[in-house]
Amino acid sequence: MADVRLASIRKSFGTVEVLRGVSLSLASGEFVSLLGGSGCGKTTLLRIVAGLESVTSGSVEIDGRDVTGLPPEKRDIAMMFQSYALLPHLSVAENVRFPLRMRRIGSREEQHEKVRAALETVQLGHLADRRPRQLSGGQQQRVALARAIVSNPNVLLLDEPLSNLDARLREDMQVELIEIHRRLGLTTLFVTHDQEEALSLSDRIILVNAGLIEQEGSPAEIYARPATQYASSFLGAANLVPAMIREGEAGPVALLGDGQRLALPAGIAERGAATLMLRQEDLMLAPRGAGGLEAQVVTRVYLGARSRYVVEAAGIRVRVLSGNDRVFERGAAVSLAIDPGRIRVIEG
Amino acid sequence: MSDRTENLLLAVPGLALLSLAFFLPIGKMLVLSVSGPDGPTLEHFARFLGDPFYLGILWRTVRLSVVITLVSALIGFPLAYIMARVGPRLRLWLVVMVVLPLMTSVVVRTFGWMVVLSRNGLVPDTLRDLGLVGRTFSLMQTEAAIVIGMVQVLLPFMTLSILGVIGRIDGRLEEAARTMGCGFLGAVRTVVLPLSLPGIVAGSLLVFTLSASSFVTPNLLGGARIQVLAASIYKSVTQTLDWPFAAAQAIVLFAGILLVLAPYVRMTARRHG
Amino acid sequence: MVRAVPIWVRIAAVVFVGLAALLLLGPLVVVIGVSVSESQFIAFPPAGLSLRWYREVLSSGAYLSSAAISLQVALLVTVSATLVGGAAAIALNRRRLPGSEALATVFLSPLVLPTIIYAIGMLMLWSALFGTVSVVTLWLSHTVIAVPYVVRTTLAVLAEADPFLEEAARTMGASRIQRLLFVVMPQCLPGLAAGAFFAFNISFDEAVLSLFLRRPGLTTLPVQIYGQLEFSPDPSVAAVSTIMIGLTILMIVVIDRILGLNRIASA
C-alpha cells in the first residue's frame, strides 16, 4: 500500500474541461470515496490515477513516485470495473492469476497460492474452475474483487463496482468490502454516486461537482455539515427551504413564505435571505394544534417500516419520513415541527 | 509505440492489399476504357451506346435484373418472415436451406438447372405430361431460364437481408396491431412490411447489382443467342480481345449500378445524419 | 379460443416453405442424382445407379490437376485473408483510427463491386505489368474478395465483446503484445476461424475471377466444370459437383459449430 497525491489536475476532452484543477491526497491505507452525480468528473479522476486517461496538466504521485506519464501497466495499481471485465475465455482461477502472470509476480506455485488465498477471501474457492459466464452477477463481482487484490497493489481503484447489483447483494458486498479493507489495509479510491455507499465504506469522502472538489471530510462531518446545496442534496434526503432570517426575541428566527416562523438555534449567525436544510427524517408530524407549522398532508407513500409524506406548509412542499406508529391520511391537517438544533443553514 | 501506431500497423497490410490489388486494377480499367491508338478517346463508349445491338443487350440486362429482383423480393419477404417467426431449431434448418445454395459454387448450381430445364429435364417433362406444351419444348436458352436460375442464386441474399431487419422488429408490435382489430395478414401488411422496408430495399439493391453483373448463369442457361452485358464483356475479353471496349462496357455496367444505388445511399445517409 | 396465427396461414406457410426448399435445393439434389447415374446421358431421375463417374473423376488428369490448383490457391488464400482481414478487423474495432467509418467501407468494398468488373481490371493490370497470369494472380485476387468476409465475421465477434477488457488488462499489467496475445486474440478466435472457413469456401468455389485469370495449365476446378458445361457435359461433371457440394456442407457444419449460423445470418 502507498499514498497517492494528485496536484492541480486539469483534464479536457477536446474543448470540454472535465476536471478544472483538482488536488487531493490519500494516506497509505485510507479508503476514500469520490462522490458526485454523473458527469461531475469523478470517474475521469479515477481513470487518471489508473493511467487510463492522460492529464492535460497536473501531476500524479503514487508512493512518492511521479507516475504522471506512465501507462497503467507500469503503475502498481489494480482496478475493479463496473462491468467486472472478466476474461470470458479463462476460468475463474486463471482470471485471478492474470495480473500475477502479466506483472510476473512470483513462481507458478506462489501464484497458485496467492490465487487460492484471494478466492478464499471472497469465499469463492469452490468455483475456481468455472467460467465467468457460469456465475451469477454477484459471484462475477467477487471474482473481479479477488483479481484486484491478488497482486497486493499500491492502490486499489474501484469504479462504481456495486451499481449493477440488486439491493440485497449490494448490502452484502458493502459489508465484504469493509471487511477486506480492514484485513488488507489497501489504499483504496472508490467512485460512486450513491451517498449511502460512500457513507458506509469510507474513511473520507471527497465530493466532486463539475470538475472541482466541492467538499471533503469524514462521513460524519459531511453528513452533519454539508456546505452547499449540492452537498446537501447528495447526502441525506433533505428539503431546501428559502427563508428570511431575522432577529427574534429569543434568538434568530426564520420567516417562511406565509409568515410562519421557525425557531433557529442561537449559534446561527447568518441574517437575511438564506436557504434552510431540513432533513426528511428530522421533521416530525403531529395532529394539528400540537405546535409547530400548520400544514396539510398531500400524499403518503407506504414504505413498510415508515412512510414518506409530501406535506404542504407555508406555501411550500416538503418531504417527511415518519414512522408508522401514527399514520396520517391524505388531506389531513397536521402540524410540522423540527428540533431547531437539526436545522442547517446553507449557502448557494 | 502508441495506440495509433499499433492500429496503423494492423490496418496497413489490408490497406496495401486493397490499394494495390483492388483499387489499382479498377483504375487501370478506367484508363483503358478511354484509351485509343491516338490518346484518350470516348470512341468505345460511343460505339457501345450508338449500336442498337449493344443497347439491346443493356436493355435486356436491366429488364431481366428488374424481374429477378421483383421475384426475389416477392418470395424473399414471406420466406424471411416465416423464418423470423418460427422457433430457433426450425429456423436453423431454414437458414441452412438458404445458406447452402449460397455457398455452393455457381457452376454447380447452374448445372442443376441445366438438367432440370433442358428438353429431357424434369420441368418440361412435367409440363408436357400436363399437356401444356409441345414435344420439343425446352426451357433452356430462354430468358425464363435465366430468371429462374438467377432467382435461386440470389434469393438467399434477399432473404438474409430482410431476415436481419425483421429479426429486429419487436413481435409485440404485431400483437398490438391484432389487439387493435387487425387480422393476421393486416398486421403483417401494416406493421411488418413498412418496418422491413430497409431490408427489402437493401436486398433489392444487392440482388439487382448481382443480377446485372452476373455472367455464368445467364451464359449457361441463356446460351449464345441471349446475351447479357457481362457475357458481352467476357466475349470482348476472351474472344475478340478488344480490351478497351470490354473496359468501356464494364464502366457502363458499373455506372448503371451506381445510378440505381445512388438515390438509396443518399436516402440512408440523410436518415443517419 | 384465439389462435394467433390462423390455420390457413400455417398451411400456406408450410406449402410455401416446401416450394422454396424445392427452388433452393432442387438443383443440388438433381446434381447429386445425376452423379450416380449409370448412363452417359444426363437425365434426372437417373436411369440406373452406378458410381462409375466418381471413378472417372478421381482418375481424370484434367479434374485432378484443376482440383489441385483450386486447393493450393484456397489454402494460400485462407492464410492470407485470415491474417490480413483479422488484423484489419482488430484495428477497425478499436475505432481509434481517423476516419474509421470510411475505412470500414473501404475494407468491405470488394463485396459491393461486381466481381466481373474487378476481374477484368485485374487481368488488364496484371497483363500490363507482369504478362501472363499465374497462381499468384489468383491468390491475390481471391484474397481481395475473401478479406471482407473475414473482416465481417471477426468484427461481429469483437463487437459483442466487452470493450473494457483491454483496459482491464492494462490495469493488470499487460503490455501491448501481451494484450494482443492474451486478450484480443482469444476474443477474435471464433470470428477468425469462421472467416477462415468462409475464405476457403469462397476461393475454392470461385468461378468468375478464375475464368478471366486463366491460361492453359492454370485452370481451377470450377473453371474446368464450366468448360465441360459449355461443350459436352457427361455425368462426370455431376460427380465433381457433388464432391464440391459435400465440401460446402462440411464447411457449413464447421462454421455453425464455431460461430453459429444464426448469428451470421443476422449479421
Contact B25 C84 (CB under 8 A): no
Is the CB of residue B211 less than 8 Å from the CB of residue B67? no
- Nearest-by-Cβ selection for A99 from C164, C167, C173: C173
Establish if C208 touches chain B: CB-CB under 8 angstroms. yes
Q: Mind telling me how many Å the CA of C257 is from chain B's nearest CA? A: 12
Establish if C114 touches chain B: CB-CB under 8 angstroms. yes
Listed residue (A260, A230, A223, A226) closest to A243, CA to CA = A260
Chain B positions in Cβ-Cβ contact with residue C31 (cut-off 8 Å): 108, 111-112, 115
Least confident stretch, A79-83, B17-21, B42-46: B42-46
How many residues are given for chain B? 273
Give this prediction's pTM: 0.79
Give per-residue pLDDT as tens, C110-136.
888 889 999 999 999 999 999 899 999
pLDDT at C252 over 80: yes
pLDDT category of residue B135 using cuts at 50, 70 and 90: low
Contact B17 C245 (CB under 8 A): no
CA distances from B78 to A315, B148, B155, C16 (A): 63, 18, 12, 9
For all residues of chain C together, what is the average pLDDT? Answer: 87
Q: Provide the CATH number for the domain formed by B61-227 in this structure.
A: 1.10.3720.10
What are the residue ranges spanned by the domains of chain B?
Answer: 61-227
Task: Report the side by side order of strands in the sheet with A187-192.
Answer: A77-80, A155-159, A187-192, A31-35, A204-209, A212-217
Establish if C177 touches chain A: CB-CB under 8 angstroms. no
Phi, psi of B119 (to 5 degrees): -55, -40
A73: nearest CA partner in chain C = C173
Peptide bond just before C45 cis, omega within 30 deg: yes
Report d(CA A45, CA A10) in Å as an integer: 10
Contact B21 C144 (CB under 8 A): yes
Chain B positions in Cβ-Cβ contact with residue C205 (cut-off 8 Å): 103-106, 108
Q: Mind telling me how many Å the CA of B270 is from chain C's nearest CA? A: 16
pLDDT at C266 over 70: no
Contact C164 A81 (CB under 8 A): yes
Contact A73 C170 (CB under 8 A): yes
Report the share of chain C in percent with pLDDT over 70.
Answer: 94
C62 CB burial (10 A radius; 0-12, 13-18, 19+): middle
Helices B52-85 and B193-213: crossing angle in degrees, nearest 10, is 140
CA distances from A130 to A84, A90, A114, A134, C164 (A): 16, 9, 18, 7, 21
pLDDT category of residue C1 using cuts at 50, 70 and 90: very low
Least confident stretch, A36-40, A58-62, B76-80: A36-40
Which CATH fold topology does A4-225 show?
A: Rossmann fold (3.40.50)
Give per-residue pLDDT as tens, C141-158.
999 999 999 998 898 888
pLDDT category of residue B74 using cuts at 50, 70 and 90: very high
Contact C165 A50 (CB under 8 A): no
**Rounded mean pLDDT, C233-243:** 86
Least confident stretch, B45-54, C47-56, C160-169: C47-56
Q: Which CATH architecture has domain C61-265?
A: Orthogonal Bundle (1.10)
Element (H, E) at C212: helix C208-212
Is the CB of residue B55 less than 8 Å from the CB of residue C122? no
Is the CB of residue A261 less than 8 Å from the CB of residue A248? yes
pLDDT at B119 over 70: no
Report the share of chain C in percent with pLDDT over 90.
Answer: 44
For chain A, the chains sharing at least 3 beta-carbon pairs closer than 8 angstroms are C
Is the CB of residue C247 less than 8 Å from the CB of residue C202? no
Q: Mind telling me how many Å the CA of A176 is from chain C's nearest CA? A: 22
How many residues are given for chain C? 267
CA geometry: angle at A100 spanning A96 and A104, to 5°?
160
Give per-residue pLDDT as tens, A128-164.
999 999 999 889 999 999 999 999 999 999 999 888 8
Report d(CA A71, CA C13) in Å as an integer: 60
Least confident stretch, A50-64, C48-62, C192-206: C48-62
pLDDT at A275 over 90: no
Report d(CA C222, CA A269) in Å as an integer: 95
What are the residue ranges spanned by the domains of chain C?
Answer: 61-265
Chain C positions in Cβ-Cβ contact with residue A102 (cut-off 8 Å): 169, 172-175, 178, 182
pLDDT at C188 over 60: yes
pLDDT category of residue C267 using cuts at 50, 70 and 90: very low
Give chain B as a DSSP string: --HHHHHHHHHHHHHHHHIIIIIHHHHHHHHHHTEETTEE--HHHHHHHH-HHHHHHHHHHHHHHHHHHHHHHHHHHHHHHHHHHS-HHHHHHHHHHHHHHHHS-HHHHHHHHHHHHSTTSHHHHHHHHTT-S-TT---TTSHHHHHHHHHHHHHHHHHHHHHHHHTTS-HHHHHHHHHTT--HHHHIIIIIHHHHHHHHHHHHHHHHHHHHH--HHHHHHHTTTS--HHHHHHHHHHTS--HHHHHHHHHHHHHHHHHHHHHHHHHHHHHH-
Is the CB of residue B98 less than 8 Å from the CB of residue B160? yes
* Other residues' Cβ atoms within 10 Å of the Cβ of residue A177: 22
CA distances from C43 to A301, B115, B133, C21, C39 (A): 82, 7, 20, 21, 9
Alpha helices in chain A (DSSP H): 42-50, 92-102, 108-121, 137-149, 167-184, 195-201, 219-224, 229-234
Chain C positions in Cβ-Cβ contact with residue A71 (cut-off 8 Å): 170
Chain A positions in Cβ-Cβ contact with residue C167 (cut-off 8 Å): 52, 72, 81, 85
Instruction: Please give the DSSP secondary-structure letter assigned to residue A66.
Output: E
Instruction: Please give the DSSP secondary-structure letter assigned to residue A161.
Output: T
Look up residue A348 and give its three cell numbers: 448557494
Chain C positions in Cβ-Cβ contact with residue A118 (cut-off 8 Å): none
- Nearest-by-Cβ selection for A102 from C164, C165, C173: C173
Q: Mind telling me how many Å the CA of A71 is from chain C's nearest CA? A: 8
Instruction: Please give the DSSP secondary-structure letter assigned to residue C44.
Output: S
**Rounded mean pLDDT, B98-118:** 87
Q: Mind telling me how many Å the CA of C161 is from chain A's nearest CA? A: 9
Establish if C94 touches chain B: CB-CB under 8 angstroms. yes
Instruction: Please give the DSSP secondary-structure letter assigned to residue C184.
Output: I
Report the DSSP pairing between strands A204-209 and A31-35: parallel
ipTM score: 0.82
Contact B17 C122 (CB under 8 A): no
Q: Which CATH architecture has domain A237-346?
A: Beta Barrel (2.40)
Listed residue (C246, C261, C41, C30) closest to B109, CA to CA = C30
pLDDT of A80 reads 93
Look up residue B35 and give its three cell numbers: 484509351
Report d(CA C15, CA B270) in Å as an integer: 41
Contact C28 B101 (CB under 8 A): yes
pLDDT of A156 reads 94
For all residues of chain A together, what is the average pLDDT? Answer: 88
Contact C183 A151 (CB under 8 A): no
Equal fold, A4-225 vs A237-346: no
Q: Mind telling me how many Å the CA of C256 is from chain B's nearest CA? A: 9
pLDDT of A39 reads 86
